[in-house]
Structure 1
Amino acid sequence: MSLESVPPKYAQLVQTLQRRIESGEYPPGSLLPSENQLIQEFGVSRPTVVAALRMMREQGWIDSQQGKGRFVRGRPAMDSVESNRPGQAYLTTPEADTPGEVLEAGAVAVPNRIGALLDVPQKAKAFLRRRLIARDGGPTELVSLWLPLELSEGTDLTSGEPLTQGLREHLKARKGVRFDHVVEQITARMPSADEARKLAMPKNTPLLAVFGAVRDAAGRPLVVVEILLPADRHELEDAYALTS
Protein backbone atom coordinates (compact mmCIF):
# COMPACT_ATOMS: atom_id res chain seq x y z
CA MET A 1 0.00 0.00 0.00
CA SER A 2 1.31 3.47 -0.85
CA LEU A 3 2.58 5.39 2.15
CA GLU A 4 2.24 8.76 0.43
CA SER A 5 0.04 9.90 -2.40
CA VAL A 6 2.52 12.14 -4.20
CA PRO A 7 5.61 10.27 -5.46
CA PRO A 8 8.78 12.13 -6.56
CA LYS A 9 8.92 13.43 -10.13
CA TYR A 10 11.02 10.60 -11.56
CA ALA A 11 8.56 8.03 -10.16
CA GLN A 12 5.64 9.97 -11.64
CA LEU A 13 7.40 9.89 -15.02
CA VAL A 14 7.95 6.13 -14.71
CA GLN A 15 4.26 5.60 -13.97
CA THR A 16 3.19 7.72 -16.97
CA LEU A 17 5.52 5.91 -19.38
CA GLN A 18 4.42 2.52 -18.06
CA ARG A 19 0.76 3.46 -18.61
CA ARG A 20 1.53 4.49 -22.19
CA ILE A 21 3.27 1.18 -22.84
CA GLU A 22 0.39 -0.81 -21.35
CA SER A 23 -2.20 1.16 -23.37
CA GLY A 24 -0.36 0.51 -26.63
CA GLU A 25 0.60 4.13 -27.21
CA TYR A 26 4.22 2.93 -27.07
CA PRO A 27 3.98 -0.64 -28.49
CA PRO A 28 6.73 -3.26 -28.05
CA GLY A 29 9.58 -2.64 -30.47
CA SER A 30 8.84 1.07 -30.86
CA LEU A 31 11.38 3.77 -30.16
CA LEU A 32 10.82 5.61 -26.88
CA PRO A 33 10.94 9.44 -27.04
CA SER A 34 14.42 10.85 -26.51
CA GLU A 35 15.62 12.43 -23.27
CA ASN A 36 15.22 15.90 -24.77
CA GLN A 37 11.67 15.14 -25.93
CA LEU A 38 10.70 13.88 -22.45
CA ILE A 39 12.27 16.93 -20.79
CA GLN A 40 10.27 19.25 -23.03
CA GLU A 41 6.99 17.35 -22.73
CA PHE A 42 6.99 16.88 -18.96
CA GLY A 43 8.90 20.01 -17.92
CA VAL A 44 11.38 18.10 -15.73
CA SER A 45 15.15 18.14 -15.39
CA ARG A 46 17.54 15.82 -17.22
CA PRO A 47 18.56 13.98 -13.99
CA THR A 48 14.85 13.24 -13.40
CA VAL A 49 14.49 11.76 -16.91
CA VAL A 50 17.73 9.78 -16.58
CA ALA A 51 16.62 8.33 -13.22
CA ALA A 52 13.22 7.33 -14.65
CA LEU A 53 14.71 5.66 -17.73
CA ARG A 54 17.30 3.83 -15.65
CA MET A 55 14.56 2.44 -13.40
CA MET A 56 12.52 1.30 -16.41
CA ARG A 57 15.55 -0.39 -17.95
CA GLU A 58 16.39 -2.17 -14.69
CA GLN A 59 12.79 -3.39 -14.38
CA GLY A 60 12.74 -4.71 -17.94
CA TRP A 61 10.30 -2.28 -19.58
CA ILE A 62 12.81 -0.89 -22.10
CA ASP A 63 16.16 -1.70 -23.73
CA SER A 64 18.96 0.69 -24.61
CA GLN A 65 20.91 0.34 -27.86
CA GLN A 66 24.10 2.33 -28.35
CA GLY A 67 23.64 5.01 -30.97
CA LYS A 68 20.01 4.11 -31.63
CA GLY A 69 18.07 5.01 -28.51
CA ARG A 70 15.73 3.20 -26.14
CA PHE A 71 13.23 0.63 -27.38
CA VAL A 72 10.06 -0.59 -25.71
CA ARG A 73 9.99 -4.22 -24.54
CA GLY A 74 6.53 -4.13 -22.97
CA ARG A 75 5.31 -5.13 -19.52
CA PRO A 76 7.85 -7.55 -18.01
CA ALA A 77 6.70 -10.87 -16.62
CA MET A 78 5.74 -10.40 -12.97
CA ASP A 79 8.32 -12.87 -11.69
CA SER A 80 11.09 -10.90 -13.43
CA VAL A 81 10.10 -7.48 -12.09
CA GLU A 82 12.60 -6.11 -9.61
CA SER A 83 10.75 -4.49 -6.75
CA ASN A 84 11.43 -0.81 -6.35
CA ARG A 85 13.18 -1.28 -3.01
CA PRO A 86 14.82 1.92 -1.77
CA GLY A 87 18.19 0.48 -0.78
CA GLN A 88 18.85 -1.53 -3.91
CA ALA A 89 20.00 1.35 -6.11
CA TYR A 90 22.53 2.53 -3.53
CA LEU A 91 24.16 -0.90 -3.45
CA THR A 92 24.42 -1.40 -7.22
CA THR A 93 24.42 2.01 -8.94
CA PRO A 94 27.59 4.16 -9.05
CA GLU A 95 27.31 7.25 -6.88
CA ALA A 96 28.44 9.30 -9.88
CA ASP A 97 25.08 8.49 -11.52
CA THR A 98 23.12 10.16 -8.72
CA PRO A 99 23.41 13.91 -8.00
CA GLY A 100 24.47 14.58 -4.43
CA GLU A 101 27.31 15.46 -2.10
CA VAL A 102 29.38 13.55 0.44
CA LEU A 103 28.73 14.99 3.89
CA GLU A 104 30.81 12.62 5.98
CA ALA A 105 33.27 9.76 5.50
CA GLY A 106 35.13 8.27 8.45
CA ALA A 107 35.01 6.30 11.69
CA VAL A 108 32.23 7.24 14.12
CA ALA A 109 30.58 5.77 17.20
CA VAL A 110 27.88 3.42 15.96
CA PRO A 111 24.23 4.02 16.98
CA ASN A 112 22.54 1.15 18.80
CA ARG A 113 20.30 0.10 15.90
CA ILE A 114 23.16 0.11 13.38
CA GLY A 115 25.42 -1.71 15.82
CA ALA A 116 22.86 -4.47 16.23
CA LEU A 117 22.49 -4.86 12.45
CA LEU A 118 26.28 -4.91 11.94
CA ASP A 119 26.86 -7.10 14.99
CA VAL A 120 29.19 -4.43 16.40
CA PRO A 121 29.53 -3.99 20.20
CA GLN A 122 27.92 -0.99 21.86
CA LYS A 123 30.09 2.16 21.91
CA ALA A 124 32.36 0.66 19.24
CA LYS A 125 33.16 2.51 16.03
CA ALA A 126 32.14 1.74 12.48
CA PHE A 127 32.85 3.41 9.16
CA LEU A 128 30.20 5.86 7.93
CA ARG A 129 29.83 7.32 4.45
CA ARG A 130 26.90 9.74 4.28
CA ARG A 131 25.56 11.50 1.18
CA LEU A 132 22.79 14.02 0.66
CA ILE A 133 20.93 13.21 -2.56
CA ALA A 134 19.36 16.04 -4.58
CA ARG A 135 16.77 15.74 -7.34
CA ASP A 136 14.49 18.28 -9.00
CA GLY A 137 16.39 21.17 -7.48
CA GLY A 138 16.25 20.12 -3.83
CA PRO A 139 17.38 17.50 -1.28
CA THR A 140 15.36 14.27 -1.37
CA GLU A 141 17.23 11.59 0.58
CA LEU A 142 19.92 11.26 3.22
CA VAL A 143 21.84 8.04 2.53
CA SER A 144 24.30 6.50 5.00
CA LEU A 145 26.49 3.47 4.35
CA TRP A 146 27.74 1.77 7.51
CA LEU A 147 30.57 -0.81 7.42
CA PRO A 148 32.85 -2.54 9.93
CA LEU A 149 36.12 -0.57 10.04
CA GLU A 150 38.19 -3.41 8.60
CA LEU A 151 35.93 -3.68 5.56
CA SER A 152 36.41 -0.01 4.70
CA GLU A 153 40.21 -0.21 4.69
CA GLY A 154 41.81 -0.13 1.26
CA THR A 155 38.67 1.17 -0.45
CA ASP A 156 37.69 4.52 -2.00
CA LEU A 157 34.93 5.07 0.57
CA THR A 158 37.00 7.70 2.39
CA SER A 159 37.06 9.88 -0.75
CA GLY A 160 34.96 13.01 -0.98
CA GLU A 161 34.36 12.25 -4.64
CA PRO A 162 31.42 10.09 -5.81
CA LEU A 163 32.25 6.43 -6.42
CA THR A 164 32.41 5.43 -10.08
CA GLN A 165 31.39 1.86 -9.16
CA GLY A 166 28.41 0.55 -7.27
CA LEU A 167 29.20 -0.36 -3.66
CA ARG A 168 28.59 -4.05 -4.32
CA GLU A 169 31.04 -4.10 -7.24
CA HIS A 170 33.59 -1.94 -5.42
CA LEU A 171 33.74 -4.11 -2.29
CA LYS A 172 33.88 -7.28 -4.37
CA ALA A 173 36.86 -5.90 -6.31
CA ARG A 174 38.73 -4.41 -3.34
CA LYS A 175 37.85 -6.77 -0.48
CA GLY A 176 36.67 -9.95 -2.18
CA VAL A 177 33.31 -9.95 -0.38
CA ARG A 178 30.10 -11.07 -2.03
CA PHE A 179 26.66 -9.73 -1.18
CA ASP A 180 24.16 -12.56 -0.82
CA HIS A 181 20.94 -11.09 0.59
CA VAL A 182 19.46 -8.04 2.26
CA VAL A 183 17.17 -7.86 5.29
CA GLU A 184 15.14 -4.66 5.02
CA GLN A 185 13.34 -2.81 7.80
CA ILE A 186 11.19 0.32 7.43
CA THR A 187 10.15 2.58 10.28
CA ALA A 188 8.59 6.02 10.60
CA ARG A 189 9.73 8.70 13.03
CA MET A 190 10.13 12.43 13.41
CA PRO A 191 13.45 13.85 12.17
CA SER A 192 16.09 15.42 14.33
CA ALA A 193 16.64 19.15 13.90
CA ASP A 194 19.79 18.47 11.87
CA GLU A 195 18.02 15.95 9.60
CA ALA A 196 15.11 18.33 9.01
CA ARG A 197 17.53 21.12 8.11
CA LYS A 198 19.57 19.01 5.68
CA LEU A 199 16.44 17.69 3.97
CA ALA A 200 14.63 21.06 3.98
CA MET A 201 11.63 19.43 5.64
CA PRO A 202 8.50 21.33 6.70
CA LYS A 203 7.69 21.42 10.39
CA ASN A 204 5.94 18.33 11.83
CA THR A 205 6.70 16.16 8.78
CA PRO A 206 7.80 12.59 9.60
CA LEU A 207 10.64 10.60 8.08
CA LEU A 208 10.55 7.15 6.54
CA ALA A 209 13.71 5.39 7.71
CA VAL A 210 14.78 2.40 5.62
CA PHE A 211 17.48 0.04 6.90
CA GLY A 212 18.94 -2.55 4.55
CA ALA A 213 21.29 -5.02 6.28
CA VAL A 214 23.49 -6.73 3.68
CA ARG A 215 24.84 -10.19 4.53
CA ASP A 216 27.03 -12.76 2.85
CA ALA A 217 25.97 -16.36 2.19
CA ALA A 218 26.99 -17.36 5.73
CA GLY A 219 24.84 -14.64 7.25
CA ARG A 220 27.79 -12.42 8.23
CA PRO A 221 26.89 -8.68 8.27
CA LEU A 222 28.75 -6.70 5.63
CA VAL A 223 27.02 -3.35 5.18
CA VAL A 224 24.00 -1.45 6.44
CA VAL A 225 22.47 1.12 4.10
CA GLU A 226 20.30 3.65 5.95
CA ILE A 227 18.01 5.88 3.88
CA LEU A 228 16.03 8.76 5.35
CA LEU A 229 13.09 9.86 3.18
CA PRO A 230 10.79 12.82 3.89
CA ALA A 231 7.33 11.25 3.98
CA ASP A 232 5.75 14.13 2.07
CA ARG A 233 7.92 13.43 -1.01
CA HIS A 234 8.08 9.65 -1.27
CA GLU A 235 5.98 6.53 -1.56
CA LEU A 236 7.16 2.95 -1.11
CA GLU A 237 5.80 0.38 -3.54
CA ASP A 238 6.43 -3.34 -4.04
CA ALA A 239 5.33 -5.84 -6.65
CA TYR A 240 5.17 -9.61 -6.29
CA ALA A 241 3.66 -12.63 -7.97
CA LEU A 242 0.73 -14.54 -6.46
CA THR A 243 1.41 -18.25 -6.21
CA SER A 244 -1.39 -20.77 -6.65
Structure 2
Amino acid sequence: MSFEYTPPKYAQLIAEIERRIESGEYPPGSPLPSEHQLMAEFGMARPTVVKALGVLRDNGWIISEQGKGRFVRGRPALAAGQHPRTGRELLDRKEIPSTTRLVSAGLVKAPRRIASYLGLDDGASVVLRRTVVHQGDEPSEIVSVWLRSELAEGTALAASAELPQGVGRLVESAAGVGLDHIVEHLTARNPTKEERGLLGVAASAALLDLYAVACDATGKAHVVLQTVLPGDRHELEDAYPIR
Protein backbone atom coordinates (compact mmCIF):
# COMPACT_ATOMS: atom_id res chain seq x y z
CA MET A 1 0.00 0.00 0.00
CA SER A 2 1.37 3.43 -0.89
CA PHE A 3 0.79 6.57 1.12
CA GLU A 4 0.86 10.24 0.23
CA TYR A 5 3.31 11.94 2.57
CA THR A 6 2.56 15.43 3.86
CA PRO A 7 5.36 17.12 5.81
CA PRO A 8 4.52 17.78 9.48
CA LYS A 9 3.24 21.26 10.32
CA TYR A 10 6.45 22.44 11.93
CA ALA A 11 8.41 21.47 8.79
CA GLN A 12 5.95 23.44 6.64
CA LEU A 13 6.47 26.49 8.88
CA ILE A 14 10.26 26.11 8.64
CA ALA A 15 10.08 26.02 4.85
CA GLU A 16 7.86 29.10 4.69
CA ILE A 17 10.05 31.19 7.01
CA GLU A 18 13.16 30.16 5.08
CA ARG A 19 11.40 31.20 1.86
CA ARG A 20 10.53 34.59 3.31
CA ILE A 21 14.10 35.14 4.49
CA GLU A 22 15.54 34.19 1.10
CA SER A 23 13.05 36.43 -0.75
CA GLY A 24 13.91 39.44 1.40
CA GLU A 25 10.48 39.64 3.00
CA TYR A 26 12.28 39.04 6.32
CA PRO A 27 15.61 40.89 5.80
CA PRO A 28 18.70 40.18 7.93
CA GLY A 29 18.58 41.99 11.26
CA SER A 30 14.81 42.40 11.26
CA PRO A 31 12.73 41.07 14.16
CA LEU A 32 10.93 37.83 13.48
CA PRO A 33 7.15 37.77 14.12
CA SER A 34 6.38 36.70 17.66
CA GLU A 35 5.24 33.20 18.57
CA HIS A 36 1.67 34.48 19.01
CA GLN A 37 1.74 36.19 15.60
CA LEU A 38 2.97 33.02 13.90
CA MET A 39 0.39 30.92 15.75
CA ALA A 40 -2.39 33.22 14.55
CA GLU A 41 -1.17 33.48 10.96
CA PHE A 42 -0.54 29.77 10.41
CA GLY A 43 -3.18 28.33 12.76
CA MET A 44 -0.61 26.27 14.65
CA ALA A 45 -0.26 25.39 18.32
CA ARG A 46 2.55 26.99 20.33
CA PRO A 47 4.64 23.76 20.67
CA THR A 48 4.64 23.42 16.86
CA VAL A 49 5.81 27.02 16.39
CA VAL A 50 8.45 26.71 19.12
CA LYS A 51 9.82 23.51 17.54
CA ALA A 52 10.08 25.18 14.12
CA LEU A 53 11.83 28.22 15.56
CA GLY A 54 14.26 25.97 17.42
CA VAL A 55 15.26 24.23 14.18
CA LEU A 56 15.67 27.56 12.38
CA ARG A 57 17.91 28.78 15.21
CA ASP A 58 20.00 25.60 15.26
CA ASN A 59 20.43 25.75 11.46
CA GLY A 60 21.57 29.37 11.58
CA TRP A 61 18.61 31.16 9.97
CA ILE A 62 17.63 33.17 13.06
CA ILE A 63 19.15 34.18 16.41
CA SER A 64 17.57 34.64 19.82
CA GLU A 65 18.46 37.53 22.13
CA GLN A 66 17.29 37.16 25.72
CA GLY A 67 14.75 39.81 26.62
CA LYS A 68 14.57 41.13 23.07
CA GLY A 69 13.18 38.30 20.94
CA ARG A 70 14.20 36.54 17.75
CA PHE A 71 15.91 38.21 14.81
CA VAL A 72 16.64 37.19 11.23
CA ARG A 73 20.24 36.20 10.66
CA GLY A 74 19.82 35.50 6.95
CA ARG A 75 20.57 32.51 4.79
CA PRO A 76 23.33 30.61 6.63
CA ALA A 77 26.68 30.27 4.90
CA LEU A 78 26.31 26.49 5.33
CA ALA A 79 22.62 25.89 4.64
CA ALA A 80 21.31 22.34 5.06
CA GLY A 81 20.99 21.83 1.31
CA GLN A 82 24.62 22.85 0.73
CA HIS A 83 26.25 20.75 3.43
CA PRO A 84 24.07 17.75 4.26
CA ARG A 85 24.83 15.78 7.38
CA THR A 86 26.05 12.23 6.73
CA GLY A 87 22.84 10.49 7.81
CA ARG A 88 20.65 12.75 5.68
CA GLU A 89 22.89 12.22 2.67
CA LEU A 90 22.64 8.44 3.11
CA LEU A 91 18.83 8.66 3.26
CA ASP A 92 18.72 10.56 -0.03
CA ARG A 93 21.46 8.65 -1.86
CA LYS A 94 20.53 6.55 -4.91
CA GLU A 95 22.22 3.23 -5.69
CA ILE A 96 23.83 4.11 -9.01
CA PRO A 97 25.28 1.02 -10.75
CA SER A 98 28.24 2.95 -12.19
CA THR A 99 29.52 3.73 -8.68
CA THR A 100 27.63 1.33 -6.41
CA ARG A 101 27.70 -2.47 -6.27
CA LEU A 102 24.90 -4.26 -4.45
CA VAL A 103 26.49 -7.02 -2.38
CA SER A 104 23.42 -8.47 -0.67
CA ALA A 105 19.74 -7.87 -0.01
CA GLY A 106 17.60 -10.10 2.17
CA LEU A 107 16.71 -11.38 5.62
CA VAL A 108 19.42 -11.73 8.29
CA LYS A 109 19.55 -11.93 12.07
CA ALA A 110 19.95 -8.48 13.57
CA PRO A 111 23.24 -7.83 15.41
CA ARG A 112 22.72 -6.67 18.99
CA ARG A 113 23.44 -3.00 18.19
CA ILE A 114 20.98 -2.94 15.27
CA ALA A 115 18.29 -4.73 17.27
CA SER A 116 18.70 -2.18 20.04
CA TYR A 117 18.41 0.77 17.66
CA LEU A 118 15.25 -0.68 16.05
CA GLY A 119 13.69 -1.74 19.36
CA LEU A 120 13.79 -5.45 18.50
CA ASP A 121 14.80 -8.58 20.40
CA ASP A 122 18.36 -9.82 19.90
CA GLY A 123 18.57 -12.02 16.81
CA ALA A 124 15.26 -10.83 15.35
CA SER A 125 14.98 -11.02 11.58
CA VAL A 126 15.67 -7.79 9.70
CA VAL A 127 16.19 -6.91 6.06
CA LEU A 128 19.75 -5.91 5.21
CA ARG A 129 20.86 -4.11 2.03
CA ARG A 130 24.62 -3.86 1.67
CA THR A 131 26.44 -1.99 -1.05
CA VAL A 132 30.04 -1.07 -1.81
CA VAL A 133 30.61 2.44 -3.12
CA HIS A 134 33.57 3.15 -5.41
CA GLN A 135 35.46 6.35 -6.13
CA GLY A 136 37.29 5.74 -9.37
CA ASP A 137 38.76 2.24 -9.24
CA GLU A 138 39.00 2.16 -5.43
CA PRO A 139 36.29 1.01 -2.98
CA SER A 140 35.61 3.93 -0.65
CA GLU A 141 32.90 2.72 1.73
CA ILE A 142 30.44 -0.01 2.64
CA VAL A 143 26.86 1.13 3.19
CA SER A 144 24.41 -1.12 5.03
CA VAL A 145 20.70 -0.38 5.35
CA TRP A 146 18.93 -2.23 8.18
CA LEU A 147 15.12 -2.38 8.27
CA ARG A 148 12.36 -4.15 10.15
CA SER A 149 11.38 -7.19 8.07
CA GLU A 150 7.66 -6.39 8.06
CA LEU A 151 8.41 -2.91 6.72
CA ALA A 152 10.68 -3.96 3.84
CA GLU A 153 9.25 -7.28 2.63
CA GLY A 154 7.37 -7.00 -0.63
CA THR A 155 8.92 -3.62 -1.48
CA ALA A 156 11.91 -2.46 -3.49
CA LEU A 157 13.81 -2.23 -0.20
CA ALA A 158 14.12 -6.03 -0.09
CA ALA A 159 14.65 -6.53 -3.84
CA SER A 160 18.01 -7.57 -5.28
CA ALA A 161 18.25 -4.56 -7.58
CA GLU A 162 19.72 -1.10 -7.11
CA LEU A 163 17.30 1.45 -5.69
CA PRO A 164 16.37 4.18 -8.20
CA GLN A 165 15.57 6.61 -5.38
CA GLY A 166 16.71 7.33 -1.86
CA VAL A 167 15.95 4.95 1.00
CA GLY A 168 14.21 7.71 2.95
CA ARG A 169 11.31 8.14 0.53
CA LEU A 170 10.80 4.38 0.24
CA VAL A 171 10.77 3.94 4.02
CA GLU A 172 8.26 6.77 4.46
CA SER A 173 5.99 5.23 1.82
CA ALA A 174 6.22 1.74 3.32
CA ALA A 175 5.75 2.92 6.92
CA GLY A 176 3.10 5.54 6.14
CA VAL A 177 4.88 8.11 8.32
CA GLY A 178 7.39 10.88 7.82
CA LEU A 179 10.95 10.55 9.07
CA ASP A 180 11.49 13.38 11.53
CA HIS A 181 15.08 13.22 12.78
CA ILE A 182 18.33 11.25 12.73
CA VAL A 183 20.55 10.22 15.62
CA GLU A 184 24.15 9.45 14.66
CA HIS A 185 26.66 7.23 16.48
CA LEU A 186 30.33 7.16 15.42
CA THR A 187 32.87 4.53 16.45
CA ALA A 188 36.31 3.40 15.26
CA ARG A 189 37.49 -0.20 14.94
CA ASN A 190 39.44 -2.70 12.86
CA PRO A 191 37.78 -4.41 9.86
CA THR A 192 36.06 -7.78 9.81
CA LYS A 193 37.23 -10.43 7.35
CA GLU A 194 34.36 -9.54 4.97
CA GLU A 195 35.21 -5.83 5.16
CA ARG A 196 38.87 -6.53 4.42
CA GLY A 197 37.86 -8.26 1.21
CA LEU A 198 35.31 -5.65 0.13
CA LEU A 199 37.51 -2.63 0.87
CA GLY A 200 40.93 -4.11 0.16
CA VAL A 201 42.38 -3.08 3.53
CA ALA A 202 44.70 -4.81 6.00
CA ALA A 203 43.52 -6.41 9.23
CA SER A 204 45.20 -3.57 11.18
CA ALA A 205 43.43 -0.82 9.21
CA ALA A 206 41.38 1.72 11.14
CA LEU A 207 37.76 2.04 10.06
CA LEU A 208 35.24 4.72 10.92
CA ASP A 209 31.87 3.12 11.59
CA LEU A 210 28.93 5.54 11.53
CA TYR A 211 25.34 4.56 12.37
CA ALA A 212 22.50 6.93 11.42
CA VAL A 213 19.20 5.99 13.08
CA ALA A 214 16.24 7.60 11.30
CA CYS A 215 13.14 8.08 13.48
CA ASP A 216 9.64 9.47 13.16
CA ALA A 217 8.33 12.32 15.32
CA THR A 218 7.50 9.92 18.17
CA GLY A 219 11.10 8.71 18.33
CA LYS A 220 10.39 5.28 16.81
CA ALA A 221 13.30 4.10 14.64
CA HIS A 222 12.36 2.84 11.17
CA VAL A 223 15.73 2.40 9.47
CA VAL A 224 19.39 2.27 10.43
CA LEU A 225 21.96 3.37 7.87
CA GLN A 226 25.52 2.26 8.53
CA THR A 227 28.53 3.45 6.59
CA VAL A 228 31.98 1.92 7.09
CA LEU A 229 34.82 4.18 5.96
CA PRO A 230 38.55 3.37 5.71
CA GLY A 231 40.22 5.94 7.94
CA ASP A 232 43.02 6.67 5.45
CA ARG A 233 40.56 7.47 2.63
CA HIS A 234 38.13 9.78 4.43
CA GLU A 235 38.02 12.84 6.61
CA LEU A 236 34.74 13.71 8.32
CA GLU A 237 33.92 17.40 8.41
CA ASP A 238 30.99 19.19 9.98
CA ALA A 239 30.16 22.87 10.24
CA TYR A 240 27.37 24.65 12.10
CA PRO A 241 26.62 28.10 13.45
CA ILE A 242 27.82 29.02 16.94
CA ARG A 243 24.43 30.60 17.70
Structure-1-length-normalised TM-score: 0.64
State the partner residue of 2:210.
210
Deviation digits for residues 143-193 of structure 1, max 9, x if unmatched? 000011111023102222211111111222344231100000100001112
> Partners in 2 of 1:182 and 1:95 — Cα distance?
20
State the partner residue of 1:231.
231
> Partners in 2 of 1:175 and 1:122 — Cα distance?
22
Q: Which runs of 5+ in 1 are unaligned?
A: 1-75
Q: Which runs of 5+ in 2 are unaligned?
A: 1-74
Identity fraction in percent: 36
Cα pair distance change 1:153/1:177, threshold 3 Å: farther
The correspondence of residues 7-46 of structure 1 with structure 2, limited to 5 A, is none
State the partner residue of 1:80.
79
> Partners in 2 of 1:213 and 1:176 — Cα distance?
18
Q: Decide whether the 8 Å contact of 1:140 with 1:229 is kept in 2.
A: yes
What is the RMSD computed on CA atoms of the aligned residues? 1.8
State the partner residue of 2:123.
123
Q: Give the total of aligned pairs.
A: 168
The correspondence of residues 105-116 of structure 1 with structure 2, limited to 5 A, is 105-116=105-116
Structure-2-length-normalised TM-score: 0.65
The correspondence of residues 176-195 of structure 1 with structure 2, limited to 5 A, is 176-195=176-195
Verify: 1:163 aligned to 2:177, yes or no: no
Q: Decide whether the 8 Å contact of 2:152 with 2:174 is kept in 1.
A: no
Q: Decide whether the 8 Å contact of 1:84 with 1:237 is kept in 2.
A: no
Q: Decide whether the 8 Å contact of 1:84 with 1:238 is kept in 2.
A: no
State the partner residue of 2:197.
197
SS at match of 2:126: strand
SS at match of 1:121: coil
Cα pair distance change 1:118/1:175, threshold 3 Å: closer
Name which of structure 1's ranges 92-101 and 156-165 shifts more when overlaid on structure 2: 92-101
State the partner residue of 1:56.
none
Cα pair distance change 1:77/1:195, threshold 3 Å: same
Name which of structure 1's ranges 144-153 and 168-177 shifts more when overlaid on structure 2: 168-177
> Partners in 2 of 1:158 and 1:211 — Cα distance?
20
Q: Decide whether the 8 Å contact of 2:129 with 2:144 is kept in 1.
A: yes
Q: Decide whether the 8 Å contact of 2:127 with 2:158 is kept in 1.
A: no
**1:198 CA displacement:** 0.7
Name which of structure 1's ranges 79-88 and 171-180 shifts more when overlaid on structure 2: 79-88
Cα pair distance change 1:124/1:232, threshold 3 Å: same
Letter matched to residue 80 of structure 1: A
Letter matched to residue 139 of structure 1: P
